[in-house]
Amino acid sequence: MTINKNRKIIHVDMDAFYASVEQMDNPALLGKPVAVGGSEIRGVVAAASYEARKFGVRSAISGVLAKKYCPELIFVRPRFDRYKEISRKVQAIFYDYTDLVEPLSLDEAYLDVTQNKKGNPSASLIAKEIRERIFKEVGLTASAGISVNKFVAKIASDINKPNGQKTVNPDEVLAFLEELPIRKFYGVGKVTTEKMYQLGIFTGLDLRSKELVFLEKHFGKSGGFYYNVVRGVHNSEVKSERITKSVAAEHTFEENLSSEIFMEEKLQLIAEQLEKRLLRNKLAGKTVTLKIKYSDFSQQTRSKTLPYFIANKALLLETAKELLYQERMRESVRLLGISVTGLNTEVKKAVVVQLKFDF
Q: Which residues are catalytic?
A: 108
| Helices 17-25 and 80-94, axial angle in degrees (round to 10) | 110
Nearest to 100 by CA among 236, 241, 5: 241
Question: For residue 55, what are the contacts with CB-CB under 8 A and spacing of at least 6?
Answer: 33, 69, 70, 73
Sheet holding 9-14, edge to edge: 101-105, 108-112, 9-14, 142-147, 165-167
- Gap between the Cα atoms of 134 and 163, Å rounded: 11
- Gap between the Cα atoms of 140 and 53, Å rounded: 18
CA 164 to chain centre: 20
CA distances from 124 to 143, 153, 354 (A): 12, 11, 17
Do 228 and 234 contact (CB within 8 A), yes or no? yes
- Gap between the Cα atoms of 52 and 62, Å rounded: 14
- Gap between the Cα atoms of 87 and 224, Å rounded: 35
- Gap between the Cα atoms of 38 and 47, Å rounded: 10
- Gap between the Cα atoms of 164 and 143, Å rounded: 5
Question: For residue 46, what are the contacts with CB-CB under 8 A and spacing of at least 6?
Answer: 18, 36, 37, 38, 59, 78
Q: If you count them, how many residues does the chain have?
A: 359
Burial 262-301, CB ≥16 within 10 A → b, else e: ebeebbbebbebbbeebeeeebbbbbbbbbbbbeeeeeee
End-to-end CA distance of the chain: 22
